[in-house]
Amino acid sequence: MDFSSFLTSLGTSFVIFIVLMVLFAWLSTRQGNAVVYYPNRIVKGMEPWEGGSRTRNPFAWIKEALSSSEQDVINMSGIDTAVYFVFLSTVLGILVLSGIVLLPVLLPIAATDDGVKKNEHTSNNTSNGTFSDLDKLSMANIEVKSPRLWAFLVATYWVSVVTYFLTFKAYKHVSALRATALMSNEVKPEQFAVLVRDLPKATSGQTRKQQVDTYFKSIYPETFYRSMVVTNNKEVDKIWGELEGFKKKLARAESIYALSQGNGQGTRPTNRTGFLGLCGKKVDSIEYYNEKIKELTQKLEAEQKVTLREKQQGSALVFFTSRVTAALAAQSLHAQMVDNWTVTEAPEPRQLIWSNLTIKFYDRIIRQYVVYIVVFLTIVFYMIPIAFISAVTTLKNLRKLLPFLKPIVDIAALKTVLEAYLPQLALIIFLALLPKFLLFLSKTEGIPSGSHVIRAASGKYFYFIVFNVFIGVTIGGTLFASIKTIEEKPNSVFDMLAKSLPGNATFFLTFVALKFFVGYGLELSRIVPLIIYHLKRKYLCKNEAELREAWFPGDINYATRVPSDMLIVTIVLCYSVIAPVIIPFGVLYFALGWLVLRNQALKVYVPAYESYGRMWPHMQIRIISALFLYQVTMLGYFGVMRFYYTPILVPLPILSLVFVFVCRKKFYGAFCHTVLEVASQELKETPHMEQIFKSFIPPSLISEKQEDEHFEDALSQVSRSESSV
């Protein structure tokens, strides 16, 4: 792609963003769209607009986002979202401080050399076979062994120092945020409970509950409250799911009947009882669903009793009257054997993955290693199609492979757009298939909480996209374009890969531009959720519950968003010195991301959980991983440039490893456990322990008939109960 094509594609992206922003400004003021653009405010009982929708400035969201404080974000979306904005701000700071030095210093040094002209006479090997105008603004225009390389070497150190300073500062800030949240004087159920796994076999004549109660009473006699033994809920969950499904169908049928009465007809809805309602006996829907609900309610109650008494498993939740005791218990070794009485902090009730709680210690380890192997194989073998896509989806190769497309791709306007975006769009679509698979793998490891699964999947996705997108595109594109040269000179492969880096900068410049202009434009305008909501509202939704389900936005989705941001961090850092012109694009990506997502966090997304910033250590170490890759890349590139003082860069990767070690020792412990000085803060009210206990009961085990004697036994005082709860 030449420089004019690049500018054309950039202009196209900008126009798309402006169109989407204008659409948002218009659509977000329409009364019927409030649930799409302001669901977080609506869920919290607030007015969608702080002023009237008709008198509201269409660009007021920008001022509101910029003027919002960190406390505003915490109040609306929690600590995890605030920590995500610390990440965005930190990366933005790194790129701005780097750009302030690199752009005015390195661009003139590169532009005034003649490396590209000399290389054109000796080599035609770049990412697209020709040197572009952008190469003249990069290290590609610096001659081998040139003393000008000193400036680039010093710049490599500058980027590293800025990254160390800002990430360390951010770590301190996030640690303070987490501590402040955890020492809150509000009662949080998870702070009074611990998760106990790997229970040893109970002695004869002793129930699981008696075993757990006796064990913890002997260790914590003054603060132990009671225990809840985990059960095998597979069957009861299935019945409960069917019951909830019929309740929804009944509510829908009653709404349809009420609407028909309003129209003067009063027609009762009917359905067929066979497969998918397509065959079988035709029945009155309301009567049929009421009968099924009555039948399943009785079946559920019977199964609940069986589950509570006969399906107890080898794990439990233990409750204490003091959150200091709970924090202390979660950090203590309770048994001589590591595979007995494993005690950890309890997640939030809404985060618990009940099916994973009963997986044994060694089973968890085996599962973890199996998943790591599967992820490694996925990374390796996914690189093959990624490299193939990056090589094939160029106009030159498409003309060869699909000759019938020539008349279409040769249209001037279409050619510019396709040349700029086709490989990037193919790559983005291909990557969209992966996250659910990685979430499934992470859950398979036996992780007990939803937020931990998301952190694990995020890590896998980060390493996947770095290896397959950044490294895969660079290596795949170069090797595919230079296969004949490699056959003739096999030893030249490393030189070619290094020399191709400045040329590949054009691909990544367009990739970043596409992500921030089109990606954030779609994020802000919410065109797809808006269309889906209105289609469901018109054709599917019959009551308020269905409408709420149609517009409910979910959370920010850290499992894919954070790794995608990390990919941009990796790309921009690795090219920051080689091709400094990429830095403004990185700044635009994170600045625009901060602005758009600030609006979404305050008004759109509803957090699904709260982990009090536990994602931050993973964010920080991946920023340093990107920095480490950048330092190794620069070390190799200076070597290819035959710069005599390249060994001066050797300490940088070592310094990064030392920095990670220091941060881990200084901060990480407080993210793994609740610090005792934090947990010891006084509460503004005495905790209601029975409410805390009941908040952890799975929905499928909650009895609708509270007078039922069995459930009174199951949910009452320990002395009366021999059940699992």
pLDDT digits (tens, 9 = 90+) for 153-185: 999 999 999 999 999 999 999 999 999 999 888
Same domain for 366 and 343: no
Q: Give the confidence band of 487 by pLDDT, cuts at 50, 70, 90.
A: low
Of 119-123, 131-135, 633-637, which one has max mean pLDDT?
Answer: 633-637
Which residue in 555, 549, 561, 568 sits closest to 511, CA to CA? Answer: 568
Same domain for 214 and 333: yes
pLDDT per residue as tens digits for the range 25-80? 888 888 889 999 999 999 988 888 765 555 567 778 898 899 999 999 999 999 99
For residue 511, what are its two tokens? 């990739």
Same domain for 11 and 109: yes
Q: Could you tell me how far CA 680 lies from the centroid of its own chain? A: 32
**Which residue type is seen at 467?**
F
pLDDT for the residue numbered 54:
52
Q: Give the confidence band of 437 by pLDDT, cuts at 50, 70, 90.
A: confident
What is the mean pLDDT of the segment spanning 218-233?
93
Q: Give the confidence band of 130 by pLDDT, cuts at 50, 70, 90.
A: very low
What is the mean pLDDT of the segment spanning 271-275?
78
Q: How many CB atoms lie within 10 A of CB 67?
A: 8
- Of 579-583, 609-613, 638-642, the poorest mean pLDDT is in 638-642
pTM for this one?
0.86
Q: Give the confidence band of 704 by pLDDT, cuts at 50, 70, 90.
A: low
Which residues, listed in sequence order, are joined to residue 194 by a DSSP beta bridge? 318, 345
Provide the residue range defining the domain that includes 30: 3-184+504-649
Q: Are residues 99 and 580 in contact, defined by beta-carbon separation less than 8 angstroms? A: yes
- Of 111-115, 204-208, 279-283, the poorest mean pLDDT is in 111-115
Same domain for 367 and 314: no
Which residues, listed in sequence order, are joined to residue 316 by a DSSP beta bridge? 196, 229
Torsion-angle region of 283 (φ positive above 0: left; ψ -120 to 50: alpha; else: beta): beta
The verdict on residue 563 lying in a domain is yes
Same domain for 198 and 176: no
Same domain for 95 and 13: yes
The verdict on residue 331 lying in a domain is yes
Q: In what order do the strands lie in the sheet with 193-197?
A: 224-231, 312-320, 193-197, 342-345
Q: What 8-state DSSP symbol labels residue 345?
A: E
Q: Could you tell me how far CA 217 lies from the centroid of its own chain? A: 40
Boundary residue ending a domain (426, 445, 464)? 445
What is the mean pLDDT of the segment spanning 441-450?
93
Distances (CA, A) of 207 to 53, 202, 214, 303, 358: 61, 7, 11, 19, 17
Q: What 8-state DSSP symbol labels residue 560?
A: H
Which residue in 661, 658, 655, 667 sits closest to 161, CA to CA? Answer: 655
Question: How far apart, in whole angstroms, are the C-alpha atoms of residue 6 and residue 132?
Answer: 10
What is the mean pLDDT of the segment spanning 116-124?
52
**Which residue type is seen at 409?**
V
State the chain's mean pLDDT as an integer: 83
pLDDT above 90 as % of the chain: 49
Q: What 8-state DSSP symbol labels residue 203?
A: P
> Strand 312-320 vs strand 193-197: parallel, antiparallel, or unpaired?
antiparallel
The verdict on residue 57 lying in a domain is yes
Same domain for 213 and 297: yes
pLDDT for the residue numbered 458:
92
The verdict on residue 450 lying in a domain is no
pLDDT for the residue numbered 716:
40
Which residue in 74, 33, 51, 84 sits closest to 596, CA to CA? Answer: 84
pLDDT for the residue numbered 400:
60
Same domain for 141 and 79: yes
What is the mean pLDDT of the segment spanning 676-701?
90
pLDDT above 70 as % of the chain: 80
Q: Give the confidence band of 554 by pLDDT, cuts at 50, 70, 90.
A: confident
Structural domains in the chain (count) = 3
What is the mean pLDDT of the segment spanning 355-380?
92
Same domain for 401 and 513: no
Phi, psi of 143 (to 5 degrees): -70, 150
The three-class DSSP label of residue 633 is helix
Q: Are residues 367 and 445 in contact, defined by beta-carbon separation less than 8 angstroms? A: yes
Q: Give the confidence band of 642 by pLDDT, cuts at 50, 70, 90.
A: confident
What is the mean pLDDT of the segment spanning 84-103?
96
For residue 650, what are its two tokens? 């050797």
pLDDT per residue as tens digits for the range 307-357? 998 889 999 999 999 999 999 999 999 999 989 999 999 999 999 999 999
The verdict on residue 592 lying in a domain is yes
pLDDT for the residue numbered 428:
66
The verdict on residue 515 lying in a domain is yes
Question: How far apart, in whole angstroms, are the C-alpha atoms of residue 420 and residue 425?
Answer: 10
Same domain for 151 and 16: yes
pLDDT for the residue numbered 425:
65
The three-class DSSP label of residue 225 is strand
For residue 516, what are its two tokens? 């921030």
pLDDT for the residue numbered 406:
62
The verdict on residue 415 lying in a domain is yes
- Which contiguous run of DSSP H or E holds residue 344? strand 342-345
Boundary residue ending a domain (428, 445, 462)? 445
Phi, psi of 220 (to 5 degrees): -125, 70
The verdict on residue 581 lying in a domain is yes
pLDDT for the residue numbered 408:
63
Same domain for 570 and 513: yes
pLDDT for the residue numbered 389:
63
Question: How far apart, in whole angstroms, are the C-alpha atoms of residue 520 and residue 523?
Answer: 5
Identify the sign of the CA torsion 649, 651, 657, 659: negative
pLDDT for the residue numbered 489:
57
Identify the sign of the CA torsion 335, 337, 339, 345: positive
Q: What 8-state DSSP symbol labels residue 682?
A: P
Same domain for 433 and 332: no
N- to C-terminal Cα distance for the chain? 66
pLDDT for the residue numbered 708:
41
Which residue in 571, 591, 592, 593 sits closest to 581, CA to CA? Answer: 571
- Which contiguous run of DSSP H or E holds residue 318? strand 312-320
> For residue 684, is pLDDT > 90?
no
For residue 87, what are its two tokens? 């990440």
